[in-house]
Copies of this chain bind each other. A is one copy, B any other.
Amino acid sequence: MSMILVRTIPEIRRDIAAARERDMSIGLVPTMGALHEGHGALLRRAREENSYAVATIFVNPTQFDRPEDLEKYPRNLEADMAFCERIGVDAVFAPDAREMYPDQFLTSVAVAGISSRLEGEFRPGHFRGVATVVAKLFQIIPADRAYFGEKDAQQLAVIQKMVADLNIPIAIVPVATVREPDGVAMSSRNQRLTPDDRRIAPRLYQALCEAGRLIRSGSRSAAEVKLGALAILASSPEIRVEYLEIVDPTFHVLETVTGEVRIAAAVWLGQVRLIDNLKV
């Protein structure tokens, strides 16, 4: 069976219902397109663990806090379709904005606390937009499993909390970050880096690794760990740090390192904002 491209909600509902009728399990990978090997890992996992794999491609306007970011977000449906087809995806759901947000759209889903910190602080409304569109996709495509990358670890935590709180019957499967050979986390935004900035970009992952090394070697002071990591970023004056923090699993900023922690950071390189994180 070859891959289908679906543009409307009633049509994808029919396809999913038909798959369910045949007792197929459904794996869902929500994306904003501009697919790369990070998405590839999600899609392959969905392909392997389910009998029917669906990718959604939707550049969700409500999760962009800056209009220029939405405008510049890369879009290439043809390449994305070829990418999905190579992996063996069964259906691509690529609605337009009016299909997802008709006139007079009024409803929002919010996850308090976790949504207001780090990414939420620097991108107001971002996680409300994410939670709302994912809640919609989960109703449109009642999958057995949905796959999200750990690169967007805070987004993953917001979605896991929403699914638990609202009793949405879909298993959320986290998938490890895929990195370039030089350590840079795969991201659609990387293609907007200038060649010079791309050469500097590995500093972000190196800084996270240094923080991880300090923690594993016994440092319990977040301030000390951050100092070591920030020193690496400071060695490239082109890098502007938005935040670098040690956080617990619900993204509370820690002063003392205890239990399972994550080092999360956002930096600017020119006009491009990059995020990354590392679990320790």
Contacts and interface: CB of A to CB of B under 8 A. Distances in A.
Contacts of A165: 105-107, 136
Interface residues of A, number: 26
A162 interface: yes
Interface in A110-148: 110-114, 131-132, 135-136, 139-140, 142
A245 B167 CA distance: 37
Contacts of A114: 106
A9 interface: yes
A3 to B, nearest CB: 23
Contacts of A139: 166-169
Copies of this chain, complex-wide, total 2
A113 B109 contact: no
B107 A162 contact: yes
A167 B112 contact: no
Interface in A165-181: 165-169
A112 B101 CA distance: 14
A146 to B, nearest CB: 14
A13 interface: yes
Contacts of A131: 107
Contacts of A191: none
A161 interface: yes
A107 B161 contact: yes
A108 interface: yes
Given A106-B161, A161-B106, A140 B167 contact: yes
Given A110-B110, A139-B169, 19 more contacts: A106-B111, A106-B112, A106-B113, A106-B114, A106-B161, A107-B111, A107-B112, A107-B131, A107-B161, A107-B166, A108-B112, A109-B109, A109-B166, A135-B166, A136-B165, A139-B166, A139-B167, A140-B167, A142-B169
16 contacts: A105-B165, A106-B114, A106-B161, A107-B109, A107-B112, A107-B131, A107-B161, A107-B162, A107-B165, A108-B110, A109-B109, A110-B110, A136-B165, A139-B168, A140-B167, A142-B169
Interface of A: 9, 13, 105-114, 131-132, 135-136, 139-140, 142, 161-162, 165-169
